[in-house]
Chains A and B, each alone.
Chain A
Amino acid sequence: MNLIAENLLYKPDEQFHLNEVSFNFKKGNIYTILGRTLSGKTTLLKTIAGLLTPDKGAIQFEDKDFLKVPVWERNVAMVYQQFINYPHLNVFDNVAFPLKQRKVDNYEINDVVSKSLKSVGLEGYESRKIQELSGGQQQRVSLARSLVKNAKILLLDEPLVNLDYKLREQLREEFKNIFSQGLSEESIVIFSTTDPREAMELNGEVTVLDEGKVLQVGEAKEIFENPKTLKVAEISNDPPMNILKANIGENKIKFEGIDIDIPQHLSKLTDKNFNLGIRASDIELSDNGFEFEVELAEISGSETLLHLKRGDAKIITSIEEVMNFNIHDKVKINFNTNKFYAFNESGILASSPFGGSYV
């Protein structure tokens, strides 16, 4: 009864868009596909919808060979990142479209469409033209349309990415509400995003995708705490996790002339050279810290992102307040050594603060 994919491969040109992707999605759950732009997220969702046929591999749903079912009979719903609606129809008709297509009777259509528009906060907009709506409202219309179908598979392809900050926050909350109330035990929600925070908040199973390949599958918390590889650590953190080439000697971690006592959880490291990972939020300004040079300071919302350099080592740190820095300023920082990650030289997690290891 699950949605099962086996070794999906799609290579329309020189690059893999999907490279041996397999998954097993169960009904009644939310799944997040986390990956950067061009990592194959949209390709994967389109393949599930039936808009693309993979070169190799199989998809099964409800014990049927899904690849043999044409798109229009698959009963999936999809929301695109670009607010796709039918421009020639008004809001009501846009949402009613899939129901009319199914020849549902008018009385029921009115009822279902009204409920759906209400759930996305668009009551009273029924007769508006699509072009008269803001981006956020347009996206709600496509969400409402995807909800009325009661589809067994709901695909959301970066639905929040083209919205401005405030709307994104607001709609993300609404998504969570809609999913928690309206999601039937019968349906599977697949949500793709580039934003690790979104993946964490939806709190379902996360699949990390890069260059068409699945890098790691696991609960959001697990991915965050124990990223399997350097790549996952970069993708699942925003700003990406800082990675420094370091080595161990005389019970110290050494890089760029900095010596730090080895924290307890890294004491069992066997390799001399390794990649040290540390999140931007685990670095703080401190008067008796190590000196770095400011390369760039960006203020984003209520925090300041500092891009720092010392020799070949480049790191980003986030400070929870708005501060002004000049380029080439010297600042002193300290690391929260309890939050150090260690990846071996081939990039596999050797030790994490949460006890994970894939070596």
Chain B
Amino acid sequence: MGKLYKFLKYSFITIWTVFVVAPFLWALTTSFKDFNSVNGGATYIPWVDFEPKLEGWKVLIKSPANGGVDIIEPYFNSLFVTCTASLISIVLGTLSAYALSRFTFKAGFVKNNDITFFFISQRIMPPIVLSIPFFLFLGAIDLLDSLIGLIVVYIVLLMPIAVWIMVDFFNKVPREIDETALIDGCNPYQAFFKVVLPNSVPGLIVAGMFCIIFGWIDFFFAFILTFTEVQLLPVKIVALNSSITPWWSLSASALVSVAPLIIVAFIVERYLSKGNLSGAIK
């Protein structure tokens, strides 16, 4: 029984790993191919199956004038928009979440839980519902096709995630810790910054990770709300498609775009394995 279970477990893990890793392997080899190698059927071993070429990668950094696609600018646009929007969402979201967790609000039948749900409901709605209002709104304040406009929209998308995660986190931090800080001479702001916040680092990291992921991978709003001035990475990658699909540069750009998320994942994994995430609050 034990052996069979172990066998099944590891078989499943192996199959799943192949399932997850194979596309990356495919993208990695394809990015070093040229037109002929791609059309020659699926091959994986460089120098044996096909002659590796750097063309797919070079195209990414060449300027359009020289026949390249230049993803460097969209890349930094994406980084800037994602990081700024995530940071602002975390700051605002954490403050809102603390208020929702610790104080009682009441406006008619609207109470704390309703406000929390209001935030989450922003994510339940299909994004397409928001697209026209956002378009008109950004048009009215002259922020269409601009980085700032995108940041504003992304804050709307990311803050609910931060609020949701942090409300849950703060609800698990015993209220008595805040009270002890007050008794020990902190005013409410000092209690929050000196005691509650340092004990919420794990929650902040998780919330930050989710914000970065959801901000980074968004295609829809980046596609609808920008035209020529500003382009974000996902839009640029999709735009690579022309009459002939350039599989090599498409693969290379896909790998480049996944890289930041892999780094985030490694950092969080490190943090998780140290046990800091679970054991911080008893």
Partner of B184, one of A51, A80, A82, A149: A149
B: which residues have CB within 8 A of A?
174, 176-177, 179-187, 190, 195, 198-199, 201, 279-282
* A131-B279, A131-B282 given; A86·B183 CB < 8 A: no
Query: A82-B176, A84-B176 known; 18 other A-B pairs, CB under 8 Å?
Result: A50-B182, A51-B183, A71-B183, A72-B182, A72-B183, A72-B184, A72-B185, A78-B179, A78-B183, A86-B180, A86-B181, A86-B199, A87-B177, A87-B281, A98-B184, A101-B184, A101-B186, A145-B184
6 A-B residue pairs with Cβ-Cβ distance under 8 Å, sorted by A, are A51-B179, A71-B183, A72-B185, A78-B183, A88-B198, A98-B184
The answer on a CB contact under 8 Å between A51 and B282 is no
**A241 CA to B149 CA, complexed, in Å:** 74
A: which residues have CB within 8 A of B?
46, 49-51, 70-74, 76-78, 80, 82, 84-88, 97-98, 101-102, 131, 142, 145, 149
The answer on a CB contact under 8 Å between B183 and A49 is yes
Chain B interface secondary structure, helix, strand, loop or mixed? helix
**A70 CA to B174 CA, complexed, in Å:** 21
The answer on a CB contact under 8 Å between A87 and B179 is no
CB distance from A82 to the nearest CB of B (A): 6
The answer on a CB contact under 8 Å between A97 and B184 is yes
Cβ of B199: which chain A residues have Cβ within 8 Å of it?
86-88
The answer on a CB contact under 8 Å between B185 and A101 is yes
Cβ of A88: which chain B residues have Cβ within 8 Å of it?
195, 198-199, 201, 280
The answer on a CB contact under 8 Å between B183 and A77 is yes
**A51 CA to B183 CA, complexed, in Å:** 8
Partner of A76, one of B177, B183, B198, B279: B183
Partner of A72, one of B187, B198, B201, B279: B187
Question: By CB atoms of chain A within 10 A, which of B183, B185, B190, B195 has the most?
Answer: B183
Which residue of A has the minimal Cβ distance to B281? A87
CB distance from A359 to the nearest CB of B (A): 44
**A80 CA to B280 CA, complexed, in Å:** 19
**A73 CA to B280 CA, complexed, in Å:** 29
**A306 CA to B55 CA, complexed, in Å:** 90
The answer on a CB contact under 8 Å between B195 and A86 is yes
Question: By CB atoms of chain B within 10 A, which of A77, A87, A102 has the most?
Answer: A87
State the 3 A-B residue pairs at the shortest beta-carbon distance, nearest first. Answer: A101-B185, A98-B184, A88-B198
CB distance from A143 to the nearest CB of B (A): 13
Question: By CB atoms of chain A within 10 A, which of B179, B199, B201 has the most?
Answer: B179
**A85 CA to B195 CA, complexed, in Å:** 10
**A46 CA to B175 CA, complexed, in Å:** 13
The answer on a CB contact under 8 Å between A87 and B186 is no
Cβ of B281: which chain A residues have Cβ within 8 Å of it?
87
Cβ of B195: which chain A residues have Cβ within 8 Å of it?
86, 88
Cβ of A50: which chain B residues have Cβ within 8 Å of it?
182
**A36 CA to B179 CA, complexed, in Å:** 23
**A102 CA to B198 CA, complexed, in Å:** 20
Question: By CB atoms of chain B within 10 A, which of A73, A77, A97, A142 has the most?
Answer: A97
CB distance from A300 to the nearest CB of B (A): 29
**A70 CA to B188 CA, complexed, in Å:** 10
